[in-house]
Amino acid sequence: MGKRRRARELAIQVLFHLEFTPGNPDHVFHFLCANFDSSVSIRDFSRTLVLGVCENKTNIDRLISRSSRNWRLERMPLVDRNVLRLGVFEILFMEDIPPRVSIYEAVELGKKYGKENSGSFINGILDDIYNNLKREGKIEETG
């Protein structure tokens, strides 16, 4: 498994933890890294993801809510909600990662950590967000 995939998994674990124990995301990140033996090589990217999601959560959640017509954000399974947040953050702010890669990675995380239909649920919402942002000219088409 690649470093970025492992970094995303660590980020999901931190974001999931923050759902139950709100606090300073940076402190929670360092606490979890220290206590669960995470590889030093994945920490920088993972920390960027966690802090980015937390700093942009309001805007990210708005985009998810707009694209999840039949699911209110607070009713979504916690894993799915945080995988979606991570995917949206990458699509919006990680210019070095093609949005389709971010969507694929989020779907794989959903399949691994979510419920039976999490992968398709995450794919549908992220694809809708991506297409809306592209149509609105907020992101560019990438390969």
CATH, residue 127: 1.10.940.10
> What's the total number of domains in the chain?
1
Q: Per-residue confidence of the chain (143 residues) as pLDDT tens digits?
A: 699 999 999 999 999 999 999 899 999 999 999 988 789 999 999 999 999 999 999 999 999 999 998 889 999 999 999 999 999 999 999 999 999 999 999 999 999 999 999 999 999 999 999 999 999 998 876 54
Q: Is residue 95 part of a domain?
A: yes
Q: Is residue 84 part of a domain?
A: yes
pLDDT of residue 139: 86
Q: Is residue 118 part of a domain?
A: yes
Q: Is residue 140 part of a domain?
A: no
Q: Is residue 142 part of a domain?
A: no
- Structural domain boundaries enclosing 21: 3-135
Q: Mark out the alpha helices in 1-143 (DSSP H runs).
A: 3-20, 25-35, 40-55, 57-67, 78-93, 99-113, 118-135
Q: Is residue 38 part of a domain?
A: yes
